[in-house]
Chains A and B, each alone.
Chain A
Amino acid sequence: MRLAFDEMHGGEVRGGSGEAAPVRSAYETLRRWLDETPSAFFDTRRSQAELFFRKIGITFAVYGDNESSERLIPFDIIPRVLMKSEWSVLERGLKQRVTALNAFLADIYGPQECIKAGIVPADLVLRNPHYRLEMKDVKIPHGIYVHIAGIDMVRVDENEFFVLEDNARTPSGVSYMLENREVMMRLFPELFTNHRVAPVENYPDSLLSTLQSVAPEATEHDPVVALLTPGRYNSAFYEHSFLADKLGVELVEASDLFVRDDVVYMRTTRGAKRVDVLYRRIDDDYLDPLVFRPDSALGVPGLMAAYRAGNVTLANAVGTGIADDKAVYTYMPDIVRFFTGEEALLKNVPTWRCREADSLSYVVDNLSELVVKEVNGSGGYGMLVGPHASKREIEDFARKLKHNPDNFIAQPTLSLSTCPTFVASGVAPRHVDLRPFVLTGADEVRIVPGGLTRVALKEGSLVVNSSQGGGTKDTWVLDA
Chain B
Amino acid sequence: MLSRTADSLYWLSRYIERADFVARILDATTRLVSLPQSYTGERNEWECAVATAGDLDMFRRHYSGANEETVRDFLAFNPANPSSIRNCIEVARDNARAVRTAFTTEMWEALNGAWLELKSFDNAMSREEFARFLDWVKRVVLAFDGAAYRTMLRNDAFWFTRLGSAIERADNTARILDVKYHLLLPETEWVGGTLDYFQWTTILREVSALTAYHWVYRDGVKPWLVADLLILNPQMPRSLANCYEILARHLALIASSYEQDGEGQSIASAMLERLSKTKIERIFDDGLHEFVTEFIADNNRLGSVIAEQYLS
Report if B98 contacts A (CB, 8 A): yes
Q: Which residues of B contact A58 (CB under 8 A)?
A: 112
Q: Which residue of A lies closest to B94 (CB)?
A: A232
Report if B232 contacts A (CB, 8 A): no
Q: When A59-B108, A63-B112 are in contact, do A241 and B100 touch as well, CB less than 8 Å?
A: yes
Q: Which residues of B contact A251 (CB under 8 A)?
A: 101
A269 touches B1 (CB 8 A): yes
Provide the bound-state CA to CA distance between A120 and B181, in Å: 83
Q: Which residues of B contact A255 (CB under 8 A)?
A: 4
> Interface residues of B: mostly helix, strand, loop or mixed?
helix
Report if A293 contacts B (CB, 8 A): no
Q: When A59-B105, A256-B2 are in contact, do A267 and B312 touch as well, CB less than 8 Å?
A: yes
A232 touches B105 (CB 8 A): no
Report if A252 contacts B (CB, 8 A): yes
Report if B260 contacts A (CB, 8 A): yes
A59 touches B4 (CB 8 A): no
Partner of A269, one of B6, B98, B100, B105: B6
A 163-176 binary contact with B (CB < 8 Å = 1; else 0): 00000000000000
A253 touches B4 (CB 8 A): yes
Q: Which residues of A contact B6 (CB under 8 A)?
A: 269
Q: Which residues of B contact A241 (CB under 8 A)?
A: 100-101
Q: Which residues of B contact A59 (CB under 8 A)?
A: 105, 108-109, 112
> Interface residues of A: mostly helix, strand, loop or mixed?
mixed
A 320-361 binary contact with B (CB < 8 Å = 1; else 0): 000000000000000000000000000000000000000000
Report if A111 contacts B (CB, 8 A): no
CB-CB contacts below 8 Å: A54-113 with B: 58-60, 63-64
Report if B310 contacts A (CB, 8 A): yes
B105 touches A252 (CB 8 A): no
Report if A244 contacts B (CB, 8 A): yes
CB-CB contacts below 8 Å: B1-41 with A: 1-4, 6
Report if B97 contacts A (CB, 8 A): yes
Q: Which residues of A contact B312 (CB under 8 A)?
A: 267
Q: When A267-B312, A269-B258, A269-B310 are in contact, do A250 and B2 touch as well, CB less than 8 Å?
A: yes
Q: When A59-B108, A59-B109, A63-B112 are in contact, do A267 and B100 touch as well, CB less than 8 Å?
A: no
Q: Which residues of A contact B105 (CB under 8 A)?
A: 59
Most buried by B among A58, A63, A64, A266: A63
Q: Which residues of B contact A232 (CB under 8 A)?
A: 97-98
Report if A205 contacts B (CB, 8 A): no
B 245-269 binary contact with A (CB < 8 Å = 1; else 0): 0000000001000101000000000
Known A-B contacts: A59-B109, A267-B3, A270-B258. Give 14 more (CB < 8 A).
A58-B112, A59-B108, A59-B112, A60-B100, A63-B97, A232-B97, A241-B100, A244-B101, A250-B2, A255-B4, A256-B2, A267-B4, A268-B3, A269-B6
By a beta-carbon cutoff of 8 Å, the part of chain B in contact with chain A is 1-4, 6, 97-98, 100-101, 105, 108-109, 112, 115-116, 156, 160, 254, 258, 260, 310-312
By a beta-carbon cutoff of 8 Å, the part of chain A in contact with chain B is 58-60, 63-64, 232, 241, 244-245, 250-253, 255-256, 266-270
What are 22 A-B pairs with beta-carbon distances under 8 A?
Answer: A58-B112, A59-B108, A59-B109, A59-B112, A60-B100, A63-B112, A64-B115, A64-B116, A232-B97, A232-B98, A241-B101, A255-B4, A256-B2, A267-B4, A268-B1, A268-B2, A268-B3, A269-B3, A269-B160, A269-B258, A269-B311, A270-B258
